[in-house]
Amino acid sequence: MDRETLYWIERLVDGCKVLSWDGQGDLISGHVSCRAPAQSDRFYLKPSRFGLEEIDAAQLIEVNLEGEKVAGELGLHNEVFIHTEIYRVRPDVRCVVHTHAPHAVAFSSTGRPLLPIGHEGTLFADGLPVFSETTDGIVTRERGEKVAALLGEHRALLLQNHGLVTVGATVEEAVMTAVWLEKACRLQMIAYAMGGPTRWTDPAEAEIKRRRIYTPEAMRNAFAYCVRKVREAQARDR
Ligand SMILES: [Zn+2]
């Protein structure tokens, strides 16, 4: 395995732990993948039957774009088609996240659009599609194709009454987008609990904020912070 692939695998393992630290774990549900090396028709994926926080590099499985496991000992998530179908149509994407983040699930049940209430919401001000054809898992290639088509060029979507999907050119980008999407949903739910939001960032300012705040460097720095928090928590538990 080359050094670049090893680097991506390390980020993938850290990404799983960051999502768990953020409260996005749902027992053994949720999965993250990365495409390495670039343009590869294979990707590394978190295995089934383990929680996000339990994952280490040796457990990862390697999967092809048909959704077949080609390497690794552990099981394959039946929602593998979220990953295969996005990688097919988005050559720019090298990491895909799917979790059952609780606020994203609850927010998706309201049928309301996500508003830029805090900074985080501006990241999705250019659109946050909601997949509403089914609330069931994305367990067939056909469903995966539809999710990928709905995602289009966006960075995230909600699966109604199910969870979130985020993508990125890096693991840091996809994972932090999931963290910020979950927070944006949480903030809007808090505002609803207080009678509903009456003010939010206007579209022009949201665009400025998105470009200024959510740069690739900011995503790397925020991810590194989250990884430090994960390491601190692990050290306390020992
Ligand atoms: Zn799911």
pLDDT of res. 29: 96
> Ligand 1: distance of its center to the CA of 115 in Å?
24
pLDDT of res. 6: 95
Cα angle: 123, vertex 83, 155; to 5 degrees: 10
> Ligand 1: distance of its center to the CA of 136 in Å?
8
pLDDT of res. 40: 87
Instruction: Decide: 187 and 133 in contact? Cβ < 8 Å.
Output: no
> Ligand 1: distance of its center to the CA of 147 in Å?
12
> Ligand 1: distance of its center to the CA of 175 in Å?
16
> Ligand 1: distance of its center to the CA of 208 in Å?
33
> Ligand 1: distance of its center to the CA of 164 in Å?
8
pLDDT of res. 38: 79
> Ligand 1: distance of its center to the CA of 166 in Å?
13
> Ligand 1: distance of its center to the CA of 195 in Å?
31
pTM of the model: 0.97
pLDDT of res. 37: 84
Residue-range domain boundaries for the chain: 3-228
pLDDT of res. 39: 79
> Of the candidates 208, 65, 210, 213, which has an alpha carbon nearest to the alpha carbon of residue 145?
65
> Ligand 1: distance of its center to the CA of 230 in Å?
24
pLDDT of res. 91: 96
> Ligand 1: distance of its center to the CA of 137 in Å?
5
Query: Domain 3-228: which CATH class?
Result: alpha beta
> Ligand 1: distance of its center to the CA of 3 in Å?
31
> Ligand 1: distance of its center to the CA of 163 in Å?
6
> Ligand 1: distance of its center to the CA of 62 in Å?
19
| Span 65-124, pLDDT tens digits | 999 999 999 999 999 999 999 999 999 999 999 999 999 999 999 999 999 999 999 999
pLDDT of res. 13: 98
> Ligand 1: distance of its center to the CA of 101 in Å?
10
Low-confidence stretches of the chain (pLDDT beneath 70) = none
> Of the candidates 22, 21, 85, 20, which has an alpha carbon nearest to the alpha carbon of residue 46?
20
- What are residue 31's DSSP bridge partners? 98
> Ligand 1: distance of its center to the CA of 177 in Å?
17
pLDDT of res. 36: 83
